[in-house]
Chain A
């Protein structure tokens, strides 16, 4: 059973380009979370999705950022018109049941390191 798979591991984009980050949850997991880790800062929640639904996007910037988790295929975090401040590590986690529930363990991917030049 493969763990949470994120790709690419490293992504370099020029300012103004689009970045697409992919996350395949663990088998049997239908809950996906995206987190951002800015340089020298802690991890911050961005968005929580279930299959075909965004449940909570309260941590995601209102502009340029979007996320989806289609019926088939990986979850995608999309950043349009990237700026230098978007440079960060983006982590995906998945769980079998809702994250707020007791005894729900989250499993993390290796992260995607985005560098905007």
Chain B
């Protein structure tokens, strides 16, 4: 059974700082997903990746298949980036997604 671990659980930073959220998993997977959830809100898919690196605006996601590790980076962070960021995996013997517990990010002005 796949275990997905995220760190840190909580992160508070100042506007403009470079943010890194880490995710590790325990078994081989088909893909890794980074999701964003605002308080009381829905879930938005930010990235799906199975190798290498992807970039979208100020967000960058990387994955190291051998290390079973992924990172989500936010450059020039802004208060509107405040949200819960969730790492999830697909495959690995599961039909649905397997989720980490999420990282609560607060960006202070």
A residues sitting closer than 8 Å to B (CB atoms) are 33, 35, 41-45, 48, 55-56, 59, 91, 93, 98-111, 113
**Which residues of chain A are within 8 angstroms of B97 by Cβ–Cβ distance?**
33, 35, 43, 45, 93, 99, 106
Whether A108 touches B43, Cβ cut-off 8 Å, given contacts A33-B97, A43-B99, A102-B30, is yes
| Of the residues B48, B94, B101, contact of A42 by C-beta under 8 Å | B101
The 4 A-B pairs of least Cβ separation, nearest first, read A110-B42, A45-B96, A108-B43, A48-B95
**Which residues of chain A are within 8 angstroms of B48 by Cβ–Cβ distance?**
103, 105
B interface SS class? strand
* B interface residues, tally (CB under 8 Å): 27
**Which residues of chain B are within 8 angstroms of A106 by Cβ–Cβ distance?**
33, 45, 90, 97
**Which residues of chain B are within 8 angstroms of A43 by Cβ–Cβ distance?**
43, 86, 88, 97, 99
Separation of A55 and B94 alpha carbons in the complex (Å) = 11
Q: Please state if B30 and A108 are interface contacts (CB–CB under 8 Å).
A: no
Total CB contacts across the A-B interface at under 8 A: 80
Q: Please state if A110 and B41 are interface contacts (CB–CB under 8 Å).
A: yes
Q: Please state if A42 and B100 are interface contacts (CB–CB under 8 Å).
A: yes
**Which residues of chain B are within 8 angstroms of A109 by Cβ–Cβ distance?**
42
**Which residues of chain A are within 8 angstroms of B90 by Cβ–Cβ distance?**
99-101, 104, 106
Separation of A41 and B97 alpha carbons in the complex (Å) = 15
Q: Which residues of chain B from 7 to 57 have any CB-CB distance to chain A below 8 Å in the complex?
A: 30-31, 33, 35, 40-45, 48, 50
Known: A33-B97, A93-B97, A100-B92. 13 other contacts (CB 8 A): A42-B101, A43-B86, A43-B88, A48-B95, A56-B95, A100-B30, A100-B95, A102-B30, A102-B91, A103-B50, A104-B30, A107-B45, A108-B35
Separation of A108 and B91 alpha carbons in the complex (Å) = 18
